[in-house]
A and B are shown apart, each in its own frame.
Chain A
């Protein structure tokens, strides 16, 4: 079993079409006729992709529809609108705390991410390269920490946060988010650091470099792709986080986007669907834009966390 030909995961191939094996699989595909491929491949794929993307289309459409078209499905075709309006976005940006919430989310996400990445770089380097006594055990414990979900921790953390006097302050989130991020990014960076050849460090040690210099001048520059992956993935996780933000923050102006939209935009029975969807869309856009630029890094972060 062990000598089955396997290849290591090449992250670029997960997304790019030009896999090195292209010619091989091309060689097999003549076995399938075009009509057959239409039914077995393109049809199910189209259905799945349409279902996966429809909520976003619906979100975007709702956010630009005028109010009367939103609630009257018989007079207007609900799948399209000929007179889009930016009223809902205008309301969002100028008549609510939305810019404030966006800023809070960004601020918390960036601070928590930077803190976690710095701590993870040290920890991952120590576990992989210093190999101190018990390094493997600590590595295993960090993996276990990755598996502890926030839904178990939020009640005791609420009391801890309250005791430390951090309740209703962004600092509460900045300090608690790293518990989600550090295990993940340490695990990811450990994988990256393992790929850096030992010889480079040995040369530097012989030249009299300290461990600190090795880390800053050799290991970190070589692990930049891994750092970017860890950074954007952590950022996404922070942006996505809900239960801590819901529990630890109280005043309207301090909230983060996900919590604020759920709590502040739903008033009684008259749902403000237009502005609700506009808020959801505006809250997702920063992440989607980030994603568009770093698709490969996202995939490497996702598969890296599972792979190691």
Chain B
């Protein structure tokens, strides 16, 4: 009986599967679930990313279809001193700002991890610069760094430290210091709060044991806190470097690349060339030139993430 029933059941199964496969097969189901997200990411992220690289090899302008010009844009940029100045500015801005963000952020995280009154409120307040839109706080800095009515110049003058107003955003060195300061100001809360979250995963019994063994506070930090925190530091700093490197809005609101291009970053320069001057091809070449740097940062993030898992005692699932 049994060997008669089996061949009968089989055709029914395969007949049903044509439709049910679409409904129940997990690969097909997964596909349907992925459609909305993938549609956005393909049409508005992957496609433009490719298009941007293609545009950088053409002489497209606003309102005119471009022709393939091979590497002419890049050759042009190679001899362009303003482009190289913007590369230098971007690297300087990224390195200095990230270093300060890391140092101050880690220090602030360690301070906030201590016990004190109004702890919760303090932590909430620290994060406010990160919440407020960058452009709007950049405007506040613009006003604070005003050449005539700067509150900093006023205070320093009344303290007797300077006799003339400092031309904060008009002098090349000062302008760089100011934009870096504003960037650090905005980035510190993010670094501090994420590192604080990491700090709280470190068990206090480790410190107790180390202190009993005679470890100083510095040794506690160097041999317990720092090694346990490295994975999260790697990730946070990759994000920080990435977003500092591609920063646009802070510069645009405060200096627009001025004085004499001293604060032009690659992103602001590409906006100026592509949208304001209309040279889409050249602008695309500038922004494509950022990609190698970003890839380097992503590689760091990747290895940082991999290291994290075993350090936290998780299995590599």
A15 is an interface residue with CB less than 8 A from chain B:
yes
Tell me the bound Cα distance from A79 to B151 in angstroms.
Answer: 9
Tell me the bound Cα distance from A215 to B29 in angstroms.
Answer: 12
Tell me the bound Cα distance from A122 to B267 in angstroms.
Answer: 33
Is A48 within 8 A of B104, CB to CB? yes
Within the complex, the shortest CB–CB distance from A221 to chain B, in Å, comes to: 18
B204 is an interface residue with CB less than 8 A from chain A:
yes
Which residue in chain A gives the minimum CB-CB distance to B44? A179
Selected interface stretch from B69-77, B81-89, B185-193:
B185-193
A33 is an interface residue with CB less than 8 A from chain B:
no
**Interface residue SS majority, chain B:** helix
Is B140 within 8 A of A59, CB to CB? yes
Which residues of A approach B to under 8 Å, CB–CB?
Answer: 1-11, 13-17, 19, 21-22, 24-29, 31, 41-42, 44-45, 48-49, 51-53, 55-56, 58-59, 62, 70-71, 73, 78-79, 115-116, 118-120, 122-123, 125-127, 130-133, 135, 138, 142, 144-145, 147-160, 175-176, 178-179, 182-183, 186, 210-211, 236, 239-240, 242-243, 246-247, 257-259, 261-262, 271, 273, 276-277, 280-281, 283-284, 287-288, 291-292, 295, 298-299, 302-303, 306-307
Contact of A152 among B46, B52, B204 (CB under 8 A): B52
Within the complex, the shortest CB–CB distance from B5 to chain A, in Å, comes to: 25
Within the complex, the shortest CB–CB distance from A286 to chain B, in Å, comes to: 10
Contact of B204 among A3, A25, A119, A149 (CB under 8 A): A25
Tell me the bound Cα distance from A295 to B128 in angstroms.
Answer: 10
Contact of A48 among B43, B108, B135, B137 (CB under 8 A): B108
Which residue in chain B gives the minimum CB-CB distance to A259? B135
15 contacts between A and B (CB under 8 A): A45-B111, A59-B140, A145-B46, A147-B294, A155-B55, A159-B55, A159-B280, A160-B43, A160-B48, A175-B44, A179-B44, A211-B29, A242-B133, A277-B139, A302-B193
Within the complex, the shortest CB–CB distance from A117 to chain B, in Å, comes to: 11
Tell me the bound Cα distance from A22 to B55 in angstroms.
Answer: 58
Which residue in chain B gives the minimum CB-CB distance to A131? B26
B108-140 CB contact bits vs A (8 Å, 1 = yes)?
A: 100110111001101111111101111111011
Tell me the bound Cα distance from A131 to B27 in angstroms.
Answer: 8
Tell me the bound Cα distance from A186 to B288 in angstroms.
Answer: 26
Is A153 within 8 A of B29, CB to CB? no
Within the complex, the shortest CB–CB distance from B269 to chain A, in Å, comes to: 11
Is B41 within 8 A of A145, CB to CB? yes
Q: Which residues of A contact B270 (CB under 8 A)?
A: 151, 155
Which residues of B approach A to under 8 Å, CB–CB?
Answer: 23, 26-27, 29-31, 33-38, 40-41, 43-49, 51-52, 55, 60, 104, 107-108, 111-112, 114-116, 119-120, 122-129, 131-137, 139-141, 143-144, 146, 149, 151, 154, 185, 188-190, 193-194, 196-198, 200-208, 211, 228, 232, 235-236, 239, 242-243, 245-249, 252-253, 266-267, 270-271, 274-275, 280, 283-284, 287-288, 290-291, 294, 297-298, 301, 310-313
Is A73 within 8 A of B154, CB to CB? yes
12 new A-B contacts, CB < 8 A, other than A19-B200, A147-B294, A150-B246, are: A24-B208, A26-B115, A142-B37, A151-B270, A154-B271, A239-B133, A242-B135, A246-B252, A257-B136, A273-B143, A287-B133, A306-B235
Tell me the bound Cα distance from A281 to B128 in angstroms.
Answer: 13
Q: Contacts A14-B197, A151-B287 given: A299-B48 contact, CB under 8 Å?
A: no
Within the complex, the shortest CB–CB distance from B50 to chain A, in Å, comes to: 8
Q: Contacts A6-B201, A126-B33, A153-B49 given: A52-B126 contact, CB under 8 Å?
A: yes
Is A6 within 8 A of B127, CB to CB? no
Within the complex, the shortest CB–CB distance from B203 to chain A, in Å, comes to: 4
Q: Which residues of B contact A28 (CB under 8 A)?
A: 204, 207-208, 211
Tell me the bound Cα distance from A131 to B31 in angstroms.
Answer: 11
Which residue in chain B gives the minimum CB-CB distance to A290? B131
Is B290 within 8 A of A158, CB to CB? no
Q: Which residues of A contact B52 (CB under 8 A)?
A: 152-153, 155-156
- Those 9 A-B pairs whose CB atoms lie nearest each other, nearest first: A132-B30, A126-B33, A123-B37, A149-B246, A151-B267, A119-B36, A156-B52, A242-B249, A156-B48
Is A62 within 8 A of B200, CB to CB? no
Contact of B135 among A6, A125, A258 (CB under 8 A): A258
Tell me the bound Cα distance from A25 to B110 in angstroms.
Answer: 13
Is B200 within 8 A of A9, CB to CB? yes
Is A261 within 8 A of B51, CB to CB? no
Which residue in chain A gives the minimum CB-CB distance to B298? A147
Within the complex, the shortest CB–CB distance from B257 to chain A, in Å, comes to: 14
Which residue in chain A gives the minimum CB-CB distance to B53? A156
Q: Which residues of A contact B36 (CB under 8 A)?
A: 118-119, 122-123
Is A15 within 8 A of B123, CB to CB? yes
Is B185 within 8 A of A55, CB to CB? yes
Tell me the bound Cα distance from A154 to B23 in angstroms.
Answer: 38
Is A5 within 8 A of B126, CB to CB? no
Which residue in chain B gives the minimum CB-CB distance to A147? B298
